């Protein structure tokens, strides 16, 4: 697989030599933990069908689905999917954009970022076509747009599930709608989990580069170690975190002054909060607290990683709950079901 987009030339060279895989925010076990924590934090009035053993296992399994798509060699899929997993927040500033005011619409943002990038090319490294197999290196990433779009998809699914339940849908239709909700919840969890990995919201994703007065690691393998190596070595599991799962809360649905979409703004603030954890993460590595090799203090960073998983679970559960509580009536489907019912009663 190709290396993560936006790597600086030196890091790209190192990755090519070492044959490192593409960056992933948490390996499958970490993503699975986040989806499970989100389920554990849902309130009692959330639809019970998501807690059946089959549904809960599927939601946990689907936490890894978008990374499985990254294993495909097909260029159209790689081009569309890869940038959805990250946002190099610092690049927004390089392009003259403010995270608080960028458009919540993916294509409006793409136009604005492309224009800003062109106007400030001196701040961006040149793109080497040989290192841009998926044709994505001109982008900073689309993670908050993907999460917001997935939220809207889930809200739609809750709307039409209610229409089938209230408007006389068949048991098969209701079961299919529930299955769609499980799928959307599980896949969305991957991207929200991506956002809780600090190295997926920064340009310093594969080791520090450029000015480095604090002497942070420049090792590109640092990313993979945080994704899963430390979690495995430190024995971080859902069973160990379940009792600390944070309850989901309903997020604001009315945009504040200057906002166009409340969910997008909340997601962007969530990502910015994780970006603020980048330097502390590098400091832990420098202090030897993430080595997990049995030396004194080498597991001291465990609390930091657990906190990130808990944050991901809390945010994910809150997005799920907000979608459920704020799903509007699907009036079109209700009307269609009413017509179907009337036709059946008329003997047609």
Q: Contact, 190 vs 62, CB < 8 A?
A: yes
- Rounded CA-CA distance 235/60 in Å is 18
| Residue 4, in any domain of the structure | no
Three-state DSSP state, 205: strand
Please give the backbone phi and psi of residue 39, each rounded to the nearest 5 degrees, phi first: -60, -40
Tokens of 348: 């047609």
| Residue 3, in any domain of the structure | no
Task: Sort 77 into a burial class: Cβ within 10 Å, 0-12 / 13-18 / 19+.
Answer: middle
- Rounded CA-CA distance 20/55 in Å is 34
Q: How many domains does the chain have?
A: 1
| Residue 292, in any domain of the structure | yes
- Rounded CA-CA distance 119/84 in Å is 24
DSSP 320: H
pLDDT at 327: 98
What are the tens digits of pLDDT across the range 330-344?
999 999 999 999 999
CA angle 214, 219, 225 (to 5 degrees): 110
DSSP 62: G
| Residue 99, in any domain of the structure | yes
- Rounded CA-CA distance 105/124 in Å is 24
| Residue 207, in any domain of the structure | yes
| Residue 347, in any domain of the structure | no
User: What's the count of helices (H) and strands (E) in the chain, helices before strands?
Assistant: 16, 0
Tokens of 145: 């747009």
Q: What residue has token string 């030339």?
A: 9
Chain centre distance of CA 293 = 30
Predicted confidence pLDDT, tens digits, the chain (348 residues): 333 444 333 333 333 333 333 566 799 999 999 999 999 999 999 999 999 999 999 999 999 999 999 999 999 999 999 999 999 999 999 999 999 999 999 999 999 999 999 999 999 988 889 889 999 999 999 999 999 999 999 999 999 999 999 999 999 999 999 999 999 999 999 999 999 999 999 999 999 999 999 999 999 999 999 999 999 999 999 999 999 999 999 999 999 999 999 999 999 999 999 999 999 999 999 999 999 999 999 999 999 999 999 999 999 999 999 999 999 999 999 999 999 999 999 986
Q: Contact, 190 vs 33, CB < 8 A?
A: no
| Residue 2, in any domain of the structure | no
Q: Contact, 141 vs 147, CB < 8 A?
A: no
Q: What is the CATH classification number for the domain harbouring 193? A: 1.10.575
Tokens of 112: 């604005």
Residue in 347, 198, 208, 201 with CA at minimum distance from that of residue 281: 198
What are the tens digits of pLDDT across the range 9-61?
333 333 333 333 356 679 999 999 999 999 999 999 999 999 999 999 999 99
Q: How far is CA 156 from CA 184, 204, 205, 326, in A?
A: 11, 36, 34, 10
Supply the range of the domain harboring residue 152.
9-13+29-341
Which ranges in 134-277 belong to alpha helices (H)?
Answer: 143-166, 171-196, 222-224, 230-234, 238-241, 262-275
| Residue 90, in any domain of the structure | yes
- Rounded CA-CA distance 26/316 in Å is 15
Q: Contact, 22 vs 218, CB < 8 A?
A: no
């Amino acid at each position: 697989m190709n290396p993560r987009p936006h790597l600086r030339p030196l890091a790209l060279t190192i990755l090519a030599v070492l044959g490192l895989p593409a960056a992933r925010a948490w390996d499958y076990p970490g993503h699975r933990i986040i989806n499970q924590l989100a389920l554990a934090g849902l309130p009692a009035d959330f639809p019970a069908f998501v807690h059946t053993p089959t549904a809960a296992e599927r939601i946990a399994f689907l936490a890894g689905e978008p990374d499985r798509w990254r294993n495909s060699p097909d260029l159209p899929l790689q081009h569309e999917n890869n940038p959805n997993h990250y946002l190099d927040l610092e690049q927004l500033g390089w392009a003259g954009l403010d995270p608080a005011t960028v458009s919540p619409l993916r294509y409006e943002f793409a136009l604005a970022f492309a224009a800003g990038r062109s106007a400030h090319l001196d701040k961006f490294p040149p793109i080497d076509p040989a290192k841009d197999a998926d044709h994505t290196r001109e982008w900073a990433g689309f993670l908050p747009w993907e999460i917001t779009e997935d939220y809207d998809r889930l809200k739609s699914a809750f709307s039409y599930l209610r229409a089938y339940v209230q408007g006389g849908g068949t048991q098969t239709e209701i079961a299919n709608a529930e299955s769609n909700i499980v799928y959307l919840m599980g896949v969305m969890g991957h991207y929200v989990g991506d956002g809780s990995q600090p190295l997926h919201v920064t340009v310093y994703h594969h080791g520090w580069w450029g000015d480095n007065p604090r002497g942070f690691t420049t090792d590109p393998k640092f990313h993979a170690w945080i994704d899963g190596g430390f979690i495995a070595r430190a024995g971080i599991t859902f069973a160990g975190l379940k009792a600390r799962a944070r309850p989901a809360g309903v997020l604001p649905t009315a945009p504040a002054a200057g906002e166009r979409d409340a969910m997008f703004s909340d997601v962007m603030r969530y990502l910015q909060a994780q970006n603020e954890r980048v330097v502390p993460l590098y400091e832990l590595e420098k202090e030897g607290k993430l080595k997990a090799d049995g030396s004194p203090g080498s597991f001291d960073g465990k609390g930091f990683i657990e906190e990130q998983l808990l944050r991901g679970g809390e945010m994910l559960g809150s997005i799920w709950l907000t979608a459920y509580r704020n799903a509007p009536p699907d009036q079109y489907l209700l009307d269609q079901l009413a017509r179907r019912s009337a036709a059946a009663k008329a003997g047609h």
